[in-house]
Amino acid sequence: MEIKTIMVIGAGQMGSGIAQVAAQSGFTTILHDVNKEAVQRGLQGIQKSLAKFVEKGKLSAEEMEATLGRLQPCDDMAAAADCQIAIEAVVENMNVKANIFRELDRLAPADAILASNTSSLPITEIAAVTSRPEQVIGMHFMNPVPLMKLVEIIRGLATSDETYETIEALSRHLGKTPATCRDVPGFISNRVLQVMINEAVWCLYEGVATAEDIDMIMKLGMNHPMGPLALADLIGLDTVLAILEVLQAGYGDPKYRPCPLLRQYVKAGWLGRKSGRGFYRYG
């Protein structure tokens, strides 16, 4: 299959990052969101990120202009008719994702591949709402997408070898290293990561140490580039909570029980960097 156009659904931090990398790699890239402002914010974020690459000499001004020229903002799902690959990156909620995959299945060409950037939700279940489960796959990028090298590829029960091979090759074309995982709750990345983040929140909740000291211990002690609480703020605390709930429901194991402090922060609207406040304050 020749891939010319990629559609990204959801223009939040992940969707805009994926769209940036796709456009930088030469693909016509349609960036869609239900919220028009989110698309504009996404495009502004892309512009800022590309300008930083230019500043650092990693991208020429012409390449930046060409990349921006390949990006098509959009608020109509019907644009899916023009894509060979659709990558969904909306909120971590099964009902919302299922509705989008029903729409994509109806609107995208019959041979198009439908990928989800979900952090934890079952690809098999997402695929089952479509008439083409063999062409549905998990393509889990890491945050921030333009900088992080990994794509975790998740094969649903019905994902065909052909779909897998296309997405593996596409990941490399996007400059990423693919790693493959079976369709289990949280896959590998979040099954391991979120337990650590949740434990750090429990430490804060129990007053064992300050947020700064918890993060310092993991940074300087374990050589992690960011502490778990700062990383949770980057991911978004609503997303962290949603993933832990998927892990808890999927494995039925109390070790995934989200810390009450995390729930409280999400209820307060303290979602991390994207809302200006989480475990730390921003802006």
194 binds ligand NAD (CB under 6 A): no
Question: Are the C-beta atoms of 215 and 230 separated by less than 8 Å?
Answer: yes
Q: Which is nearer to ligand NAD, 72 or 143 (CB)?
A: 143
Residue from 119, 120, 171, 198 carrying the catalytic annotation: 119
Here's the x/- map for ligand NAD, 87-116, by CB under 6 A: it reads as --xxxx---x---x----------------
Own/partner contacts of 248-257, CB < 8 Å, gap of 24 or more, are 249/185, 250/120, 250/122, 250/184, 250/185, 250/186, 251/185, 255/195, 256/194, 256/195, 256/198, 257/198
Is residue 124 a contact residue for ligand NAD (CB under 6 A)?
A: no
- Our finding on whether 83 is near ligand NAD (CB under 6 A) is no
**Is 131 marked as a binding-site residue?**
no
Looking at beta carbons, which residue is closest to ligand NAD?
12
Q: How far is CA 158 from CA 112, 134, 185, in A?
A: 15, 5, 17
Q: Is 174 in the site for ligand NAD (CB under 6 A)?
A: no
Q: Is 152 a catalytic site residue?
A: yes
The rounded distance, in Å, linking the Cα atoms of 47 and 40 is 11
Does 186 bind ligand NAD (CB under 6 A)? Our answer is: no
Say whether 198 is catalytic: no
Is 127 annotated to bind a ligand? Reply is no
Residue 147 gets which letter from DSSP?
A: T
Report the nearest approach of ligand NAD to the CB of residue 76 (Å): 11
DSSP H or E segment with residue 152: strand 150-155
Does 274 show up as a binding residue in the annotation? yes
Which of 10, 185, 186, 227 binds ligand NAD (CB under 6 A)? It is 10
Residue 136 β-bridge partners: 114
72 is in an annotated binding site: no
Active site residue 25: no
Rg of the chain's alpha carbons, rounded to an integer? 19
Q: Using N-to-C axis directions, what is the helix angle for 228-235 and 237-251, rounded to 10°?
A: 100
**If binding is defined by CB under 6 A, does position 236 make contact with ligand NAD?**
yes
Count of residues engaged in binding ligand NAD, rule: CB under 6 A: 27
Using CB under 6 A as the binding rule, whether residue 117 contacts ligand NAD is answered as yes
Answer left, alpha or beta for residue 114, where phi above 0 means left and psi between -120 and 50 means alpha.
Answer: beta
Cβ nearer to ligand NAD, comparing 36 with 162? 36
Query: Given candidates 7, 14, 19, 50, which one binds ligand NAD under the rule CB under 6 A?
Result: 14
| 119 is annotated as an active-site residue | yes
The two structure tokens encoding residue 113: 């591949």
Least Å from the CB of residue 88 to ligand NAD: 8
Q: List the 28-32 sheet strands across, edge first.
A: 71-74, 28-32, 5-9, 85-88, 113-116, 136-141, 150-155, 177-182
Residue 105: both structure tokens together: 């299945």
The conformational region for residue 152 under phi > 0 = left, psi -120 to 50 = alpha, else beta, is beta
Residue 49 is labelled as binding a ligand: yes
Closest distance to ligand NAD from the beta carbon of 137 (Å):
14
**Residue 97 assigned ligand-binding role:** yes
| Residues carrying an active site annotation | 119, 140, 152, 190
- Binding site for NAD(+): residue ranges? 10-15, 33, 92, 97, 119, 143, 274
Site for ligand NAD, rule CB under 6 A:
9-15, 33-35, 38, 89-92, 96, 100, 117-119, 140-141, 143, 235-236, 239, 274
